[in-house]
Chain A
Amino acid sequence: MTEKKNKKNLHTRRDFLKLTAGAVGSVGALSAVWPFMDSMNPAADTLAQASIEVDLTEIPEGSGKTVLWQGTPIFVRHRTPKEIEEAEKTPLKQLIDPETDKARVQRPEWLVVVGVCTHLGCVPLGQKPTDPRGDCGGWLCPCHGSQYDTSGRVCHGPAPTNLPIPPYRFVDDNTIKIGVTDD
């Protein structure tokens, strides 16, 4: 009887030891994986990439300029009073991703958006005067036909959300700095 009990105790102790070792080993192996995974995340120099400045005096009313910031195209558009009015008057109910125009601009005549379609990442047309701008007067994505209005909001799918606004601020009346919000 006691012998049996001892044997049973021995077994449980052995199992407990194995389980503990297995658990400790797994934790170690999993933590060892992390540095290798994290090395594929953006590196310190990529994250610290300098901001860029855009001279607004070069952009006449009604046209836009595309600049590259951290490898991403940024659309800066000088909107006409008509375009501003259209953007402000669009009823929110009509929009796929409702957002007021006021929330998307710092100064109404200047619209700054990330020029990457929120559907699958193509660069929409509409920056050059000769480009088609779609039905809403903003941009038209050549890949799958998503359309954006003069506030960069999606007005026809398949894009699910509006063009995002990058961090930027006005250095003075004629210059914006993309990549920073404060000093």
Chain B
Amino acid sequence: MTKKKHPQRPSRPLYDNPVSKWIDKRLPVFTFIRHSLDEYPTPKNLNWLWNGGSLAGITLLIMIISGITLGMHYNPDPADAFNSIERIMRDVNYGWLIRYIHVNGASFFFILVYLHMFRSMYYGSYKAPRELLWIVGVLILLLMMATAFMGYVLPWGQMSFWGAKVITNLFSAIPVFGDSIVQWLLGGPNVDAPTLHRFFVLHYLLPFLIVAFVAIHLICLHQFGSNNPSGVEVKKSEDQIPFHPYYTVKDLYGLTIYLLVFAGFVFFAPNFFMEAVNYNPANPLVTPPHIAPEWYFLPFYAILRSFPDKLGGVIGMFSAVSVLFFLPWLDRSKIKSAAYRPMFRPLFWVFILNCLILGWIGQKPPQGWYLIIGRLATLYYFAHFLIILPVVGWLERPLTVPSSISEYCKREHNRRKK
């Protein structure tokens, strides 16, 4: 904590010159910037996991910029889609760079968002009063999934085509209307020109919807401020520091490290997250022998295949995401941080392990042991939310929670000294 209390900030030329004042009176943009950077109090004890949000936001921006540039060269026509991507890779100036940024950016976006969500789960950030913040976040995840799925179809490779086919066919499980819905989604009896064209249009549109939801997410966040590793709300002024410069600088430093890893993939392993099969043009006559979705869908894909029944699988998969909406009320414990929840803490790691097992099963053929493990993992996934969380909240004897963030910092400091 700074030794002295925050003095009144010295006046800043950006905010105090007459032009800014004139604009600000009519459009309070400078008040807004000041409020969300200078005056926005933030717990002083946020750890590096709290960098995930700003990094995800920057990744969204990178995806939109690279996506728009790619859109200028891409042709959503089955006869030319694959070739237009190759033209981007071979002829467009820096086309290969922009495409590899976009391809790897998608995976990094999911890595960040999953980390962001696991952090929320560990530190109980979804609990009152931040339930809506969490729900808007889950909506963002859903939009991201739809966007990523449709984006993956655009190169019109073998995996694109068969991924589109399998996923849209999920809707045929819906009783009575199933087949008509699939036809409506595809714009024909099969995945073809109308499908590709609408997927392109929607893939272009949805990211802007995500931006809108991110704005709502931020409004929700600024209502009560960030949660923190102690899970204790801010109580006094020593608990907090202004967002700027402390967290702007910390976020920027985090960004440089993130970009370092990102550049490593873009320049030296650009196809790491890609399936080789997708560099073969779509062929509606031949299904590739091993078909699996992108890694970020694998756990959900495993849940889909764990059900013996078609409709059951589809319901299971959608429930796996929807159950997240109810998380703030399924977790009965009032204590936020897992650090003070001796029963929940190991169970959280079991849950993570279970998600990884589901991801691993998602790329295996649904036979023999894989099927049995997949089913057990699916069962555990739902049990975690529907049984374990409510029961643990009731059974658990939490450790003593620090009285304030400053108290927490002192404890941490002493612990580190030892």
A contacting B, Cβ–Cβ less than 8 Å: yes
Q: Chain A residues in contact with chain B, CB under 8 A?
A: 25, 35-36, 38-41, 43-46
- Chain B residue at minimum C-beta to C-beta distance from A47: B91
Nearest-neighbour CB distance to chain B for A47, whole angstroms, equals 9
Would you list 21 pairs from A and B whose C-beta atoms are within 8 A, ordered by A residue?
Answer: A25-B252, A35-B93, A35-B94, A35-B97, A35-B98, A36-B94, A38-B93, A38-B94, A39-B69, A39-B72, A39-B92, A40-B69, A43-B87, A43-B92, A43-B95, A44-B91, A44-B92, A44-B93, A45-B87, A45-B91, A46-B91
**Number of CB contacts from chain A to chain B under 8 A:** 37
How many Å lie between the Cα of A25 and that of B65 in the bound state? 19
User: Which residues of chain B from 35 to 75 have a CB within 8 Å of any chain A CB?
Assistant: 65-66, 69, 72-73
Which of chain B's residues have a CB closer than 8 A to the CB of A40? Answer: 69, 72
A-side contacts of B252, CB under 8 Å:
25
> In the complex, what residues of A have CB within 8 A of residue B90's CB?
44-45
- Measured in the bound complex, the distance between the Cα atoms of B96 and A44 in whole Å is 13
Q: Report whether B91 and A36 are in contact in the complex, using a CB–CB cutoff of 8 Å.
A: no
Identify the B interface with A (CB < 8 A). 65-66, 69, 72-73, 87, 90-95, 97-98, 252
Query: Nearest Cβ in chain B — how far from A45, in angstroms?
Result: 4
Interfacial chain B residues near A38, Cβ < 8 Å: 93-94
- Give chain B nearest CB distance to A30 CB in angstroms: 14
Q: Nearest CB to that of B245 among chain A residues?
A: A18
Across chains A and B, which 3 residue pairs bring their CB atoms closest together, nearest first? A35-B94, A43-B91, A45-B91
When C-beta atoms are compared, the residue in chain B nearest to A34 turns out to be B94
Partner pick for B66 among A25, A36, A44, CB 8 A cutoff: A36
Which of chain A's residues has its CB closest to B93's CB? A38
Contacts of B72 in A (CB 8 A): 39-40
Residue of A nearest to B101 (CB): A35
Chain B's closest residue to A46 (CB) is B91
Interchain CA distance A40-B88 in the complex, whole Å? 11
Given contacts A35-B94, A36-B94, A39-B72, 17 further A-B contacts (CB under 8 A): A35-B93, A35-B98, A36-B65, A36-B66, A36-B98, A39-B69, A39-B73, A39-B95, A40-B69, A40-B72, A43-B87, A43-B91, A44-B92, A44-B93, A45-B87, A45-B91, A46-B91
How far apart sit A44 and B92, CA to CA, in the bound complex (Å)?
6
The docked-state distance in angstroms from the alpha carbon of A164 to that of B25 is 53
**Complex interface: chain A residues within 8 A of B91 (CB):** 43-46
Q: Which residue of B lies closest to A33 (CB)?
A: B65
B339 to chain A, nearest CB (A): 34
Residues from chain B with Cβ under 8 Å of A44 in the complex: 90-93
Bound CA span A90–B66, Å:
54
Residue of A nearest to B62 (CB): A32
Chain B residues near A35 (CB-CB < 8 A): 93-94, 97-98
Q: Give the shortest distance, in Å, between A34 (CB) and chain B (any CB).
A: 8
Q: Which residue of A lies closest to B90 (CB)?
A: A44
How far is B249's CA from A25's CA once the two chains are assembled, in angstroms? 12
Report the bound CA distance from A36 to B102 in whole Å.
12
Most A Cβ at <10 Å: residue of B65, B91, B97: B91
B255 to A: closest C-beta gap in Å: 10
Contacts of A39 in B (CB 8 A): 69, 72-73, 92-95, 98
- B93→A41 contact, CB < 8 A: yes
A43 proximity list for chain B (CB < 8 A): 73, 87, 91-93, 95
C-alpha gap A44/B90 in the complex (Å): 8
Q: Separation in Å of the A180 CB from the closest CB of chain B?
A: 20
Tell me the minimal C-beta distance from B385 to chain A in angstroms: 41
**Once the chains are docked, how many angstroms separate the CA of A45 from the CA of B94?**
13
CA distance A36 to B97 in the complex (A): 9
CA–CA, A44 and B66, complex, Å: 19
In the complex, the chain B residue whose C-beta lies closest to that of A42 is B93
Report the separation of the CA atoms of residues A38 and B97 in the bound assembly, to the nearest whole angstrom.
12
Q: CA A41 – CA B98 in complex, angstroms?
A: 14
Q: Which residues of A lie under 8 Å from residue B98 when comparing CB positions? A: 35-36, 39
How far, in Å, is A182 (CB) from chain B's closest CB?
25
| Residues of B with C-beta under 8 A to A46 | 91
Query: Which chain B positions have C-beta within 8 A of A45?
Result: 87, 90-91
B39 CB, nearest partner CB in chain A, Å: 21
Q: Give Cα A35–Cα B69 distance, bound, in whole angstroms.
A: 10
Candidate in A35, A39, A41, A45 with the most chain B CB atoms within 10 angstroms: A39
Complex Cα distance A23/B30, Å? Answer: 24
